[in-house]
Chains A and B, each alone.
Chain A
Amino acid sequence: MNMSKKKTGIAEIYSKFGIFIILLATIIISAVISPAFLSATNIINVIRQNVTIGIVACGVQLVLLCGEVDLSLGSVAAFAGCFAAMTQVATGSTLLALLTGVVIGGIIGFLNGLVITQCAIPSFIMTLASQQAARGAILAITKAKPISNLGNFSKFGQGYLGPIPIPILIWIVILILTGFILNKMRFGRYVYAVGGNKAAAQASGIKVKKIVTRCFTYTGLLSGLGGVVLMGRVNSGQPTGGEQLEFDAITAVIIGGTSMSGGVGNIYGTIAGALFVGFLINIMTLLNVSAYYQQIVKGVIIALAVIIDVKVRNGSKK
């Protein structure tokens, strides 16, 4: 009995602080084994490489906190990003291109949320359907060809404001915004309440459907923004871009301590989760570890994170 409590306690401590300790340990070990790792350029590179995942992760965190899931992120990012690229080519206006991408992402997210809540369809199924539809649509529209000659559009992914890359600045803004929503706004508290216990939230007067729809809309908006940053980074509208993005983003959020069943998690964990996966892949590439082994490591980490999540939840139920 005591042993069980102790084990649960360790898992609980991990869920609160573990990712930060592991992130720190990863950075220290990596710095020791590869001199190139701790340079400012490399650190900025890793952050920049993971900005798209980080931005989208902020959105999907809200959905996961509600106890739902969104598998359409990558396809929505490609759809919205390519439309933004097409707008850039057609109008030459970078601002209009950005708005197009974000708004299109938001509309798809809103539709996802609306159908899920009004038709009582599991979010897994609905977002899987919109994942397929969005990917198919953008491939059909572009005929699978990249959109090039984007001019200033590349600044979203490659530009600098002083010494800081613009995509990193965008991520910082999104992190602050998401942190504010979750910690300071009533809407944020409702998100936790809905994820913790939907029935209780409903009984206490929270409009659950409205909250869930808003969460999907926010995820859609950030997927659109992530798509713009991604296409800016590769300096072209890539209809196949963002594949597996949803899994990378969900991995970051879960490793960061957000529960798959909702109600538990914070933005700091998500930041650490995204950076941890990024640093891990980075050090393996620096050490020339084969891509096959990199996939194994990524898989093991996801499994461990979910096992710990389940353990914590089971522990808290007892």
Chain B
Amino acid sequence: MFSAKIKFQRKSFLLDADINLDAGYIMALVGPSGSGKTSFMRLIAGLEKPQSGLICSGKRLLFCDDKRISIPPQKRKVGLMFQDYALFNHMNIADNIAYGIEKSNRESVVKFWLQRINLTHRAKDFPDMLSGGEKQRVALARVLACEPEILLLDEPFSALDTLLRHELRREIQTLIKDSGIPVLIATHDLEEARLIADQVCIMVKGKVLRKGKVSDVFRNPGSIAAARALGWQNILPVTNSKGEYVFGPWGKLKLFQIPRKEVLAIGIPPANINLQCQQNEVNNIPAKILHVVALDDYQILELKLKDNTNLVFEQKDLSQKVTVNQTINIGFDSQKIKIFYQ
């Protein structure tokens, strides 16, 4: 079990976050750029010092401001893979992997990891000679060869093309699961977070907004800010409600149940918009089509409501033809409308 509760201030940026992670589980740390994901990892690794907090790896205390304990990065046994991999360009691949291993078993461990990442034949090559995917595998092997107690991966796939991403994601998942240690992956790629992680932690402006099982968090982000961090674009502000109805400058909508407390906003999944709604139906709002982006088998529509709120809709059924600047009535399935409470 790994846990970290950290407070860190630098100039106007305040990071105040906490996580708990069990061995063998992968947690995705998601959030927009500048939300503090990398700083959080650097603090855990000991490259920065928090103002206050507690970092524990199992029973080992890595940082505790109360007890004035701050273990240096060399002794933390925290494996950190940097976004740009930070391979030592003046050393060959074997020497890179060997760097953190004790002399007594260096040779056998390097041999094992070179085989594991299928790069035995390139042991004497230098990092400059490797492809992006090979560099990433070497960086991961270098970190795992030190047998860390927790693994931190900072945007591990950001420098790779899509095809390689899929391939390496699977490969890395296997390597990580085999190691049986807790893993924290910082990413701004939500699809990546869904595919690779067991748990997700949403961080925005240095604060943890929501954490939990991937399916739970994605289904119910809990707050508007968390929903936005998860890529929800269709969030309509609510000014008041009456019974099952909610009202806003965009019009009125019927919910599937009477809200249990005051509603702040509602969220509409992009696929939950019906373009063929009749004016007399419940839950319809007039909208103007702003942009149409045609993709292979569906198209993305950007719609504008009367209060200038924009909605994004994924039109899967292309039988209904739409044009830019056309005004249509859009409808919603009230069962799928998410409610954000005060």
A interacts with B: no
Identify the B interface with A (CB < 8 A).
Answer: none
